[in-house]
Amino acid sequence: MNTNRQYLRNPSRETLTGHTPDQQRGITPPPFEKPAAPGAKLIPLVPVDRIALGRMPLVNAIRDRESRREFADEALALEELSFLLWATQGIRRVSPKGTWAMRNVPSGGCRHPFETYLKVRRVETLASGLYRYLPVEHALVAANAPGADPKVSLAEACYGQEFVDTAAVAFVWTAIPYRTEWRYGPDSLKDILLSCGHIGRAR
């Protein structure tokens, strides 16, 4: 366990001062969205200005928050899924040069290293399967790999917590570390972990 804690500690002063991030080298930043494959069919979500959810007062949302491990059998409405995706990774504004995007959750330097995948079981108008969220387009794209088993269990990746496989939708976030490393170099891991916490809180 102690050896794993090295990743939570600050890099040595020599490591930090001896490294020049690619941003300072003038290297073009990585794209802030993993592109869809050419010709892939995009599934549009409900536009943000047409979403009528999210009117609960903040104090009520904080007071009533609790973890749930039993879910209703009803399908999630596409509007509800659209709201959750917009709230956790939606883009508010893109910089004029397209080098960063301001989203609804904070991330150091607006680097936002995450990609959002969805294991859909019960969502109105959506077939069951694996999808990826495209925040620029506010749309979904199918993400099933060729030959992948669509019935694969997420519970196995969650230490056997079987309730994960009963949710209408399970959100899976993966990181592209270089998006953060481009700016912060060896000190990026802690920022990525902090950003992950912000996303979880936004849900």
The enclosing domain of 141 has a CATH number of 3.40.109.10
**169, 121 in Cβ contact below 8 A?**
yes
* Burial label, 104 (beta-carbon count in 10 A; 0-12, 13-18, 19+): middle
At 8-24, the pLDDT tens digits run 677 777 777 778 999 99
CA distance 91 to 104: 7
Q: What is the DSSP letter of 93?
A: E
At 29-66, the pLDDT tens digits run 999 899 999 999 999 999 999 999 878 898 998 899 88
Give the confidence band of 202 by pLDDT, cuts at 50, 70, 90: low
pLDDT at 1 > cutoff 60: no
Task: Pick the range with the lowest mean pLDDT from 15-19, 75-79, 137-141.
Answer: 15-19
Q: Which residue range is the domain that position 164 belongs to? A: 41-54+71-174
Give the confidence band of 198 by pLDDT, cuts at 50, 70, 90: confident
Q: Hunting for tokens 């794993």 — which residue is that?
A: 4
Calculate the alpha carbon distances from 15 to 3, 5, 22, 177 in Å.
18, 17, 15, 18
User: What's the mean pLDDT when you consider all of the chain?
Assistant: 88
Q: How many domains does the chain have?
A: 1
Residue 133 lies in a domain: yes
pLDDT of 67 reads 87
Query: Mean of the pLDDT values across residues 107-119?
Result: 94
Residue 137 lies in a domain: yes
Residue 16 lies in a domain: no
pTM above 0.75, yes or no: yes
Residue 8 lies in a domain: no
Query: Mean of the pLDDT values across residues 112-132?
Result: 94
Give the confidence band of 150 by pLDDT, cuts at 50, 70, 90: low
pLDDT at 144 > cutoff 80: no
Residue 125 lies in a domain: yes
